[in-house]
Amino acid sequence: MKLIIKDIIGPRCITQEDGQKIYEKIHNPLLKGESIILNFEGVRQFASPFFNFAIGQLLKDIKTETLRSLLSFDHLTPAGKMVVERVIENASVYHTDIDYKKIVDSILEEQEKESK
Amino acid sequence: MINNVYYGIFGVLADFSLQKVPNRQNLKFTEGYDIEDSEQLRQYQREEILPPRQSIPWRIIIMVKVISIPRLNDSPADFEKLFAIWSQVNDYFEDVQFDFSQCDFLRSNAVVFFGGLSRLIESRYGTVTFEWDTLKNEKVRSYLCQNSFVEIINQVNIPFLKLLNSSTCIPYREDKIQDMNAIMDYLTDDWLGRCWIQVNQALKDAISGYVWEIYANAFEHAGSAIGVFSCGQYFPKKNALILSVIDFGQGIVANVRNFLSADPRAEHLTAAGCLRWAFKKGSTTRLGISRGMGLKLLKEFICLNQGKLEVYSNEGYALINKDGEHFENRSSSFEGTIFHITLRCDEKIYKLAYEEPPF
């Protein structure tokens, strides 16, 4: 399957709502093992909310390696590549079971360092 | 600042329940304003704070708080002055007048602050008056006219005061809802597109994408019912391009503390600690979908290109520049977040931290 992103979203891929539209088109085919090309020709502007929802969200039930083997990008600008790379890196280590205690521990630890 | 604030009594209403005087109607007051015709009165009647006028005659007293706007640059001390003004009006739900007679200098941070604050007061059924007659300083007057502040605040069309091409102003704008295209056009054309930064279109697009993260955060996390306010300016001598963006939502620090409130220690987290966490990769106060890259990406871009990003949120302050990042606790607080970005207009320094393609 090949999706022309500009036709679906327009030249700006920056909002989570637009990211969700892409996610809904590609999630099931990817689960079924279908290869997908996202063509970004004509898309100029990118931001992380779009990729969080379009791509990062896929990693909830698809392994990173599987995603990399099935999903490819065409005509993605260097700026877009950088954002999507960061999003994938972030999503692959993200756990929905957030450990609040660990976060508070880490902030308190930084606070302590600073006060010394 | 307290000395700059005084109260005026103009005849009509403070506490409806206490001030009623039978058989007396005193509804016309100050500068031709007629409360009978006001949306504020109708709103009070709809909410049954006031009964319908036919049933009880009212003597109404309006108290007006007059705030003198001082000289306002964009140093931390100037932001403190703004927050002191916020604290003066935050618990005040009636009428506020802003007086410009002491003001001989304003920057975009002050413009967005007063624009947003006026909408905040109005959202609480207060009224706001900018006393334009007290605005004697020609530079400030010209700045507020050319950046459309006067026009937008007064909700009138003043064609001869439209932004001049030769002006160094970047228009004031208000976004009550997330209008993606309008905001991105503003960043791409009005802020970056005026030939002050000689960068190619691809880089302009990338910068706009980073700055969009501020708006996305504000609309998603801040919970500001009145939206987001923006303004900027170009400073030729400093060769610097500034953008100020404010929301009067709950603030980043409060948001982080709320998110972590399951842990009783969270209430002891400092504002600096909460801001530091918010700027780390992957830090998000939303569950379900991985996020938290926006501020990190913006921070990296600012560091890489020798710009400056200052964030004031609740009682926290963050400074990001080429020397790194610095977070501190402030003694004063305000409910909301201001992002104040300074870009250097030197095309030689601009670059992006491109990485290898992921696929």
Domain boundaries, chain A: 2-115
- Residue B31: what pLDDT? 32
Q: What is the mean pLDDT of residues B133-144?
A: 91
pLDDT at B286 over 80: no
| B157 and B201 both lie in a single domain | no
* B115 vs B59, higher pLDDT: B115
Residue B315, SS3? strand
Mutate to test the interface with B, among A43, A73, A90, A109 (most CBs of B within 10 A): A90
Both B227 and B108 in a single domain? Answer: no
End-to-end CA distance of chain A: 57
Amino acid at A60: K
CA dist., res. B32 & res. B303, Å (int): 53
- For chain B, the domain total comes to 2
Q: Give the strand pairing for B169-175 and B228-235.
A: antiparallel
Pair of tokens at residue B269: 């987290």
pLDDT at B79 over 90: yes
**Neighboring chain A residues of B356 at a CB cutoff of 8 Å:** 85
Residues on chain B touching A103 (C-beta within 8 angstroms): 260, 277
Note whether residue B357 is domain-resident: no
Pairwise CB contact (< 8 Å): A90 & B212: no
The pLDDT value given to residue B226: 93
Residues B10 and B121 in one domain: yes
Q: Which of B260, B281, B293, B297 to probe the A interface (max A CBs under 10 A)? A: B293
d(CA B120, CA B177): 15
Residues B127 and B46 in one domain: yes
Looking at B139, B164, B189, the residue that finishes a domain is B164
- Considering the domain architecture, whether residues B128 and B239 belong to the same structural domain is answered as no
Could you read off the pLDDT of A18-44 as tens digits, one per residue?
999 999 999 999 999 999 999 999 999
**A63 or A102: whose pLDDT is higher?**
A63
Size of interface A-B (CB pairs under 8 A): 141
Asked if the structure places residue B358 within a domain, the reply is no
A16/B263 CB distance under 8 A: no
Q: Contact at 8 Å (CB) between B209 and B296?
A: no
CB spacing of A14 vs B209 below 8 angstroms: yes
Assembly ipTM = 0.85
A62 contact residues in B (CB cutoff 8 A): none
Range of the domain at B150: 1-164
Distance from CA of B249 to the nearest CA of A (A): 20
Check pLDDT > 80 for residue B190.
yes
Q: Are A9 and A21 in contact (CB under 8 A)?
A: yes
Q: How far apart are CA B280 and CA B321, in angstroms?
A: 15
* Res B161 pLDDT > 70: no
Domain boundary among the residues B138, B164, B190 is at B164
The whole-number pLDDT of residue B283 equals 64
In a domain, B151, yes or no: yes
Whether residues B6 and B55 fall in one domain = yes
Q: Reduced to 3 states, what is the DSSP secondary structure of residue B6?
A: strand
Supply the mean pLDDT for chain B.
79
The pLDDT tens digits for B212-252 are 999 998 998 878 889 999 999 999 888 889 999 999 999 99
Last residue of a domain, one of B164, B194, B218: B164
Q: How far is CA B8 from the centre of its chain?
A: 26
Residue B90: enclosing H or E segment and its boundaries? helix B76-90
What pLDDT was estimated at residue B26?
30
User: Which chain A residues have a beta carbon less than 8 Å from that of B202?
Assistant: 44, 77-79
Decide if A12 and B180 are in contact by the 8 Å CB cutoff: yes
Band of residue B6 on the pLDDT scale cut at 50, 70, 90? very low
Same domain, B116 and B22: yes
Instruction: For residue B176, give the nearest of B127, B121, B215 by alpha carbon.
Output: B215
Instruction: Quote the minimal CA–CA distance from A81 to chain B in Å.
Output: 6
pLDDT, tens only, B191-202: 988 878 777 888
Do B189 and B100 sit in the same domain of this protein?
no
Distance CA B308, CA B149 (A): 25
CA gap B312, B329 in Å, rounded:
10
Q: What is the CATH number of the domain that holds B241?
A: 3.30.565.10
Question: pLDDT, tens digit, for every residue of A40-59?
Answer: 999 999 999 999 999 999 99
What are the DSSP calls for B249-315, one per residue? Answer: SS-HHHHHHHHTTTSGGGGG--HHHHHHHHTSTT--S--SS----HHHHHHHHHHHTT-EEEEEEEE
Cβ <8 Å between B358 and A101: no
Which residue from A58, A61, A50 is spatially nearest to A21, judged by alpha carbons?
A50
d(CA B159, CA B162): 5
Q: Report the pLDDT value the prediction gives residue A111, as an integer from 0 to 100.
A: 75
B141 and B234 part of one domain: no
CA A22 to chain centre: 11
> Does B198 lie in the same domain as B304?
yes
Q: Which of A22, A26, A82 best probes binding to B when mutated, by most B CB atoms within 10 angstroms?
A: A82
Together in a domain, B117 and B261: no
Share of chain B above pLDDT 90, in %: 43
List, for residues B288-308, the tens digit of each pLDDT value. Answer: 666 667 788 888 888 877 899
**B314 bridge partner residues:** B334
Residues B118 and B151 in one domain: yes
CB atoms within 10 A of CB B150: 19
Q: Is residue B103 part of a domain?
A: yes
CA distance B79 to B230: 16
Question: Would you give the distance in Å from CA B291 to the centre of its chain?
Answer: 25
Q: How far apart are CA B151 and CA B157, in angstroms?
A: 6
Contact B119, B247 (CB under 8 A): no
Nearest to B288 among A44, A72, A96 (CB): A96
